[in-house]
Amino acid sequence: MKKIVFIVGSLREKSFNGSLAKLAETALQGKAEIEYIKADAVPFLNQDIEFPAPESVARVRNIIKEADALWIFSPEYNYNIPGGLKNLLDWLSRPLIANDPERMTVVVGKRVTICGVGGKNETASVRARLVDMLTFMRMELVGGAGKGFALPPSAFATGAWEPEQEVVAAIEEQAAELLQALA
């Protein structure tokens, strides 16, 4: 069974993107093993502590090394990548060995898919920036800029969201596409 690591870019306990991840987990049930990595699982990137890598960074790298793919679920903060997620990806972009001219990381060649739910922009800006960053990190994007969804205004007011059937269907489609890429 394939192993897929989920990274939710929001740190909020009841995040809408966490709900999106749960939909994807359901779509992959019985088809893939899922493991979550929290966006705040590592310290702020600081080259003074890069080698040897802090224990939390080594642990995250190990989880990702053993995975067949990543799935990133991200909100859009000011048309950009949330700080915690950006920091985690920065650590993953760093070479495993100091001064490695090949700059080998645990994510080089790793398959990744992205999606997000947010405001009326449907997370288009953050997904575009993630495409740029993940491509720079030499990851293999499955589904390009992924899928984005807009929350109804009531979700922001109440903090609750019941995903529409179209969202469920799109996530199921994205899960199938990722599994196909891993076949």
Q: Decide if 131 contacts 143 (C-beta within 8 A).
A: no
Phi and psi at residue 64, in whole multiples of 5°? Answer: -70, -35
Whole-number Å distance between alpha carbons of 123 and 105 = 27
- Of 127-131, 155-159, 172-176, give the lowest mean pLDDT range: 155-159
Q: What is the pTM of this model?
A: 0.96
Instruction: Place 143 in a pLDDT band, splitting at 50, 70 and 90.
Output: very high
Could you state, in order of their start, the residue ranges of all structural domains in the chain? 2-182
**pLDDT per residue as tens digits for the range 74-101:** 999 999 999 999 999 999 999 999 989 8
> Which tokens belong to 47?
């080259």
Per DSSP (E only), the strands in the chain are 2-8, 32-38, 69-73, 111-118, 140-141, 147-150
Q: How confident is the model at residue 40 (pLDDT cuts 50, 70, 90)?
A: very high
- Residue of 150, 164, 71 lying closest to 110 (CA atoms): 71
Average pLDDT over residues 59-81: 97
* 72 band by pLDDT with thresholds 50, 70 and 90: very high
Query: What pLDDT is recorded for position 149?
Result: 98
Q: How far apart are CA 14 and CA 10, in angstroms?
A: 9
| 48/162 Cα distance (integer angstroms) | 44
What pLDDT sits at residue 157? 93
Mean pLDDT, to the nearest integer, of 7-36?
97
Mean pLDDT of the chain: 97
| Third-level CATH fold of 2-182 | Rossmann fold (3.40.50)
Q: Summarize pLDDT for 148-168 with one digit per residue, the tens.
A: 999 999 999 999 999 999 999
Given this model, what pLDDT does residue 146 score? 97
